[in-house]
Structure 1
């Protein structure tokens, strides 16, 4: 009965819940580190036990930006694939291998950070050097995620062989696009970690090409943003329509949007390096143009979502220019949390345009504005959508129901999160416009002429951080309640259907060779000549005081 309703058996659920447990433990640890950072930046709080500010800054960035997101996304995508194309026992074993390899790597890197031997921040830029175990841990996390990639690829391949001539399920198609993007982009960070950082940290080489390492990192770093975002888009396109009682607006448009993200998300890393020397301005310009091309699938998504909302509302009898808004289930946290994430993406996207623009970037370069932008994109749009997914996915996995209590608590938690982020991200954006630096403790600039201007916004961040931590505690309680205390029952796995009577999805949208080929060609075009130039002409290494701090 449960398997028929949810599409998942107990073995599937156990695997996916393991990823969820790591996700929410990471939320607690990373959130606490974020709260401590905001308190330190007021200048009125000192970390106990000799803990360093940059130590907790590294924990916060790595745990929330890499660990929480990667574990949630892979677990969620395993759920989508098990539901839509199935998961064999062999695939499930490889899924467990992915989990354990990633967990071992995460634990190794986390221990080094907590011991103070890897305070190298989220971006681990050279010439900052960590203990070799930190880099080996990162390598394990990447390898574990690659195992998950190939499990997902195999799942869709097997389904296609069993269903010749049929279009793959939309969600399975989306998962494979996201994992293709992840695999291609992580080749860059894997290369710099294995070839540059590990030999350097072991003392096998005396220096490294810093510009090359940063370029390889941002070859990975910007697609990472879309690796976070695309699972949220999966929920928006194919799950929210079911929750509101509607259908997917267009299967073809959804697939096209994901293909465009695959093509345009990777060859754009230079827009994070606009103020770095050693990269030809022409290639920076080309990659900025490619960056702005990503706006197209984002606008397609916005159009598709609001078309779904309006069509569903009008089918239910709501009239007037905006009357259809009244049909939306505003009191259902499964809808409300992701929808508020969508709303937050409007200013977040505008901020992204500023960051990627050569002239406007000069104003906010290396200021806390950029951190505020991350808190709108990842910590609001993506995380609120992930929370919204959790409110139905965890009950599906644990064999429980969404009751009135958890829905009310979820609504409360969402509102608390929005209020906290208003103070947090708003203060960061405003302080950034005044020139407040990112990645800096109050002691780094205390006594400077500008510190008096920034201090009010630092208190705003502390207020926001405190409210957000309350939201984290509520979310953790909700997770435990949905896992152990909610009424037992069968909760539906909500997947929307495409409308009947529409034009069939063009077969070219599933021509994997074509789209992967175009992606590879674009990457080769955008990076080959700059890479050769960097390898041939940039110095092998520079002392910290001679190397400018990068944009992101």
Structure 2
């Protein structure tokens, strides 16, 4: 029986369906918005680092915080969400298929998100929503900004419902079989996104929209911030898990190897679901109004995420070593020479993996009670953010693009584009190392985040900070060159690369791997445990916050904008 189950496991892990042209248009629409966002958001980031040198003034009366808001929202929310949903759809279409009806609903999700994005972006560009990426109260934006955000979230939920229905249809047609690994991973990430985004949806619909419309005279700041970080931390894992999908199930195929363990990969994703949501208080360690005991509990839960992270590191380097030794590698580290360093589909994500080592170390500092007090609200946090999301996640997304875009467009990744991609990855790594490194150091010296140079010019520390601000400008300029290269490569792969067929790489599992236990398909169990953890971590402190919050804590007439 176990042997028969194992045969089924191998068959389903190797399943790959053709992607039709109507499907490709859908997936490419999401990816196209993502790369347009990359250019716009990157340009805003370049302007920011110039302003912080104190030697550049924004033209046309543009406010620094307007630029900062565009940068954070466009890159942190728009780019990532569109790319991830497009990637999710491509993985589901390839492994379990998509019907015409499902595709039509997916288009509805896309256009709802586009309308929401346009509304939000318009308000920011008009200077009516300079409230930064976190849109903290008592900063107040135009109601249309919040309505746009709500539409983006609703559209993403519809896309997630389509993904869940795709898997349900597949399982009905394949009773007793385990779901394809990539479909399982997409399902976990969409569950994480849906549960987490409920927090920001409640904050926007119940608090911010009535407040901004004048229907409510006050807003509870601590409640709004708590709801945001209930969403804000798992958002990081919503970004990260698609990169893990590529690391686990796609990179092994690219390097000529196999998936180390299907069961380990699934378990790591289940643990990420458990421990990524009920931990938002570690972003609020310096805030009054939250009992320190509950902060400590959530910090402990935060550190639990180290377990699936180490599982992933073990799995990836086991795959690298096994593959290298099969190719004849000798000695302790000889397998490193056998990895395809000249293949950008591998190199870009690998640089992202390496960046996650210092990024993860910085995350431990951010989530620690005493050490967080040193770096909280300094530009150290911005540097950490750029190491994790802007390096680990983005370089992996770029690596995915090199095979996904030509596969969807019926074109080839040519040796010339591959070489240009390697240059782009190196340029990105160099620019980010300079910029992020300077941010980390300036943060340790007390340099604030979210602030322009003009707000702290003239202080005793300005002379000490100015070198690091110039380094950020240099690194940011190099990064923008990397963005221009990536946008050029995207256009090249989409429209001008030679016609042909590019592989959609999905790795098969190792022959001697243990069969995947059937309990991984018990979605009620995984969702139930997640809900229990969330209720345990948030119910009592949230009731306490509401009971002890002063009535009318923020007046309605607080000025719109920053």
TM bucket normalised to smaller: over 0.9
In 2, Cα distance between equivalents of 1:110 and 1:299: 38
How far the C-alpha of 1:5 sits from its partner, in A, is 8.3
Aligned residues: 542
Q: Which residue of 1 aligns with 2:259?
A: 248
Instruction: Tell me how large the CA RMSD over aligned residues is.
Output: 1.2
Counterpart among 64, 67, 86 of residue 78 in structure 2? 67
Relative distance call for 1:468 and 1:406 in structure 2 (3 A) is same
How far the C-alpha of 1:503 sits from its partner, in A, is 1.7
Q: Which residue of 1 aligns with 2:347?
A: 336
2:431 and 2:475 in contact (8 A); partners too: yes
1:6 and 1:491 in contact (8 A); partners too: no
1:247 and 1:308 in contact (8 A); partners too: yes
How far the C-alpha of 1:22 sits from its partner, in A, is 0.2
How far the C-alpha of 1:356 sits from its partner, in A, is 0.2
Q: Which residue of 2 aligns with 1:493?
A: 504
How far the C-alpha of 1:540 sits from its partner, in A, is 3.9
TM-score (norm 1): 0.97
How far the C-alpha of 1:485 sits from its partner, in A, is 1.1
Counterpart among 255, 278, 293 of residue 267 in structure 1? 278
In 2, Cα distance between equivalents of 1:277 and 1:418: 38
1:423 and 1:461 in contact (8 A); partners too: yes
What whole-Å deviation, never above 9, does each CA across 1:190-212 have from its counterpart, x for those lacking one?
00000000000000111011100
2:261 and 2:514 in contact (8 A); partners too: no
Counterpart among 181, 200, 212 of residue 170 in structure 1? 181
Question: Is residue 437 of structure 1 aligned with residue 448 of structure 2?
Answer: yes
Question: Is residue 423 of structure 1 aligned with residue 423 of structure 2?
Answer: no
Q: Which residue of 1 aligns with 2:88?
A: 77
Matches within 5 A, 1:500-519: 500-519=511-530
How far the C-alpha of 1:542 sits from its partner, in A, is 3.8
Matches within 5 A, 1:4-403: 7-403=18-414
2:17 and 2:96 in contact (8 A); partners too: no
What whole-Å deviation, never above 9, does each CA across 1:201-248 have from its counterpart, x for those lacking one?
000111011100000000000000000000000000000000000000
In 1, Cα distance between equivalents of 2:436 and 2:216: 41
In 2, Cα distance between equivalents of 1:246 and 1:46: 52
2:220 and 2:554 in contact (8 A); partners too: no
Matches within 5 A, 1:474-493: 474-493=485-504
In 2, Cα distance between equivalents of 1:274 and 1:492: 47
TM-score (norm 2): 0.95
The gaps in structure 1 that reach 5 residues or longer are 548-552
1:210 and 1:540 in contact (8 A); partners too: no
In 1, Cα distance between equivalents of 2:246 and 2:199: 28
How far the C-alpha of 1:538 sits from its partner, in A, is 1.0
In 2, Cα distance between equivalents of 1:502 and 1:537: 54
The gaps in structure 2 that reach 5 residues or longer are 1-14
In 2, Cα distance between equivalents of 1:503 and 1:421: 40
Name whichever of 10-19 and 499-508 sits farther off.
499-508
Relative distance call for 1:76 and 1:35 in structure 2 (3 A) is same
Name whichever of 497-506 and 194-203 sits farther off.
497-506
In 2, Cα distance between equivalents of 1:6 and 1:380: 31
Q: Which residue of 1 aligns with 2:5?
A: none
In 2, Cα distance between equivalents of 1:356 and 1:423: 24
